[in-house]
Amino acid sequence: MNDNILRIAIQKSGRLSEDSLKLIKECGIRFDNGAGKLKTDATNFPAEILFLRDDDIPGYVEDGVAHLGIVGENVSEESCKDVDTVHKLGFSKCRLSIGVLREAEYHGVQDLQGKSIATTYPRLLEQYLKSHDVTADIHEISGSVEIAPSIGLADAVCDIVSSGSTLLSNGLKEVETIFRSEAVMIASKHLSPVQQDLLDQLLFRIKSVQVAKN
């Protein structure tokens, strides 16, 4: 493998994609992102961009297949992969929240004791419940979490919320926020000296872009 270039993994298509691409471009890195491409070379910086599913990014960075990645902190923390979070990027802000049926009585997190909760974030949920001395039955499902209470699959859900409208339209109310997230840059723990230097240059540019915006 070439130790003299940085491989940067970003989401192929989704809520992180546009801002991730914009950030890289604002750092002055030029590349051709022809539709459907999974990998592209930067033309004026020793970097390659990989376009992946966001869930796969922490694993690729841990393995060193990608040296840097842009993902939601929610995904990075849930993955428990051994990577460094090197910078918070300020976009794709959202929260991981618990919701229960609108008509359910809810006084506090203790009310979740013994209940079943559907989520795609079992680890973050488990940590949260543990820190509040609550034991619940966590059902890991991979999507359409919000429908679970209304079809009797679970008493509550734990999912990503930004405006709260998805919860509302599924007859749920948001009762606890367990994690606040934004896009972060993660890095491999096994960078070569050249890659570390390229990362430092990139971070300097990112910080300059952020300062210019504020």
Strand arrangement, sheet containing 6-11: 39-41, 47-52, 6-11, 68-72, 183-187, 84-88
- Residue window 164-193: x/- pattern of binding to ligand ATP, with contact defined by CB under 6 A: -----------------x------------
* Nearest residue relative to ligand ATP (C-beta): 72
Query: Which residue's CB is nearer to ligand ATP, number 46 or number 164?
Result: 164
Q: How far is the CB of 74 from Zn ion (least distance, A)?
A: 10
Footprint of Zn ion (CB under 5 A): 54-55
Q: How far is the CB of 53 from ligand ATP (least distance, A)?
A: 4
Which 60-79 residues touch ligand ATP, going by CB under 6 A? 72, 74-75
Residue with tokens 């890659």: 195
Query: Which residue's CB is nearer to ligand ATP, number 81 or number 115?
Result: 81
Which 34-63 residues touch ligand ATP, going by CB under 6 A? 53-55
Name the segment binding ligand ATP (CB under 6 A); options: 10-18, 27-35, 109-117, 121-129. 10-18
The three-state secondary structure class of 31 is strand
Q: DSSP string covering 106-136, please? A: --SGGGGTT-EEEES-HHHHHHHHHHTT---
- Report how far apart the first and last C-alpha atoms of the chain are (Å, whole number): 39
Q: Which of 2, 4, 14, 196 binds ligand ATP (CB under 6 A)?
A: 14
Quote the CA–CA distance of 109 and 32 in Å, as a whole number. 49
Strands 39-41 and 47-52, bridge-based pairing: antiparallel
For residue 202, give the H/E element and its range: helix 193-213
Q: Which of 8, 50, 68, 94 binds ligand ATP (CB under 6 A)?
A: 94
Q: How far is the CB of 88 from ligand ATP (least distance, A)?
A: 12
199, 191 Cβ separation under 8 angstroms: yes
60, 66 Cβ separation under 8 angstroms: yes
- Residue window 100-139: x/- pattern of binding to ligand ATP, with contact defined by CB under 6 A: ----------------------------------------
Quote the CA–CA distance of 18 and 21 in Å, as a whole number. 5
The residues of the shown chain that bind ligand ATP, judged by CB under 6 A, are: 11, 14-16, 53-55, 72, 74-75, 92, 94, 160, 162, 181
